[in-house]
């Protein structure tokens, strides 16, 4: 009887072992056959998140040191590919906000609608002739040859283009582009507010406390205006900011300075504008620092001085403000950007919070047809 029990137990043990080995073999086959599609080509809105530490902040950040820039990895495996592998292996939760944004169209509220018309819409329309041509140029010519051509636009800001002065070019830029970048940035703040995975980021960005906002490629202040308008509309208080705008075009910065008197900014807000990174104050900034770099990386080489210089600047901000929470917001057209990937590797201390791609809808005016923009975004923190 005892022998029979022992034989039965042995058989059961062997069957369990065989079943376990078959299960492991099947899991390996599944992992090998799983497609490795880059995240930038995914049509889902994907977020990943690690909670920001609130304890031991001083001991964690005081270890920051400004060291030499690391070189981007050359083995062909990018940080983005590693992140995609983690998502596919279920190490990072995927969150989709597409249902919230389905059918949502952003429209200007009464205050911003009036501000836009006063500052550039009416001025631009008044300079159009009876055939709706601006200094002899049609809308398509302005959008394609002047506004849409970055190299052309850059040269225009240094002189004239036909009968157009740099100020006239900036006015056309505002009419066609300011509201586009305004609503793209507004959408990113809206997304941060409604994503449960970015609750900690939301608490930092939307409290009525002073915030340093460093805007690379600031243009005419469109992203700063979006930040202030979002705070005013959703939280009923004005943005108190130390705004540092950086752009290579002085005529754009002149217009940005003019628009900085917008009603969405607190009277204690301070604005400074720069054509390069030299001489920008990086010490004694506020406890929350937003580094915004929208639409500035995709048309530059990944090994350019611009990429390395901004990475060095970011590391300097980090080293000079060891107790501050630093948030980096990146947005670009919906294409892969090698320069931004190189920038992240140069900085070397970025922690991903959320990323993905979206299609947003907005109206230039209350009675206009919706316009669409496809964007790719990333929200990161410095650790």
Predicted local distance difference test score (pLDDT) of residue 316: 94
Is residue 15 predicted with pLDDT exceeding 70?
Answer: no
Is residue 330 predicted with pLDDT exceeding 60?
Answer: yes
- Kindly report whether the global pTM for this prediction surpasses the value 0.85: no
Upper half-sphere CA count for residue 321 (Cβ side, 13 Å): 23
**Which residue has better confidence, 74 or 273?**
273
**Best CA proximity match to 273, nearest among 291, 292, 240, 247:** 247
CATH class of 98-130+180-382: alpha beta
Predicted local distance difference test score (pLDDT) of residue 94: 44
**Which residue has better confidence, 40 or 132?**
132
pLDDT tens-digit readout, 167-183:
888 999 999 999 999 99
In the chain, where are the structural domains located? 98-130+180-382
Confirm if 273 and 253 have CB atoms less than 8 A apart. yes
* pLDDT category of residue 11 using cuts at 50, 70 and 90: low
Mean pLDDT, rounded, of the chain: 78
pLDDT tens-digit readout, 191-231:
999 888 899 999 999 988 999 999 999 999 999 999 999 99
pLDDT tens-digit readout, 295-306:
888 778 888 888
* pLDDT category of residue 42 using cuts at 50, 70 and 90: very low
Predicted local distance difference test score (pLDDT) of residue 248: 87
């Amino acid at each position: 009887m005892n022998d029979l029990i022992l034989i039965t137990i042995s058989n059961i043990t062997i069957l369990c072992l065989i079943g376990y080995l078959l299960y492991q073999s099947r899991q390996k086959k599944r992992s090998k056959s799983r497609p490795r599609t880059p995240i930038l080509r995914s049509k889902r809105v994907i977020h990943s998140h690690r909670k920001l530490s609130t304890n031991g902040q001083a001991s964690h950040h005081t270890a920051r040191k400004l060291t030499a820039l690391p070189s981007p990895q050359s083995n062909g495996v990018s940080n983005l590919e590693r992140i995609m592998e983690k998502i596919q292996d279920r190490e990072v939760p995927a969150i989709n906000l597409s249902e919230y944004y389905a059918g949502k169209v952003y429209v200007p509220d009464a205050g911003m609608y009036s501000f836009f018309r006063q500052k550039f819409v009416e001025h631009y329309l008044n300079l159009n002739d009876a055939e709706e041509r601006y200094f002899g140029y049609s809308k398509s010519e302005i959008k394609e040859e002047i506004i849409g051509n970055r190299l052309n636009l850059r040269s225009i800001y240094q002189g004239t283009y036909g009968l157009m002065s740099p100020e006239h070019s900036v006015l056309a830029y505002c009419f066609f582009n300011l509201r586009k970048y305004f609503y793209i940035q507004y959408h990113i703040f809206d997304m941060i507010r409604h994503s449960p995975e970015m609750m900690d980021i939301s608490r930092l960005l939307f409290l009525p406390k002073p915030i340093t906002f460093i805007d690379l490629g600031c243009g005419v202040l469109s992203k700063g205006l979006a930040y202030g308008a979002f705070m005013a509309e959703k939280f009923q208080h004005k943005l108190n900011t130390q705004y540092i705008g950086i752009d290579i075009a002085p005529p754009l910065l002149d217009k940005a300075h003019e628009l900085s008197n917008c009603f969405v900014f607190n009277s204690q807000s301070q604005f400074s504008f720069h054509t390069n990174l030299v001489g920008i104050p990086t010490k004694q900034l506020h406890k929350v620092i937003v580094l915004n770099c929208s639409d500035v990386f995709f048309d530059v080489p990944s090994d350019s001085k611009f990429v390395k210089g901004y990475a060095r600047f970011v590391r300097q901000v980090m080293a000079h403000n060891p107790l501050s929470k630093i948030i980096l917001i990146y947005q670009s057209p919906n294409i892969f950007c090698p320069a931004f990937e190189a920038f992240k590797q140069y900085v070397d201390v970025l922690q991903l919070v959320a990323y993905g791609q979206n299609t947003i809808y907005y109206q230039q005016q209350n009675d206009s047809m919706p316009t669409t923009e496809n964007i790719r975004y990333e929200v990161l923190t410095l650790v």
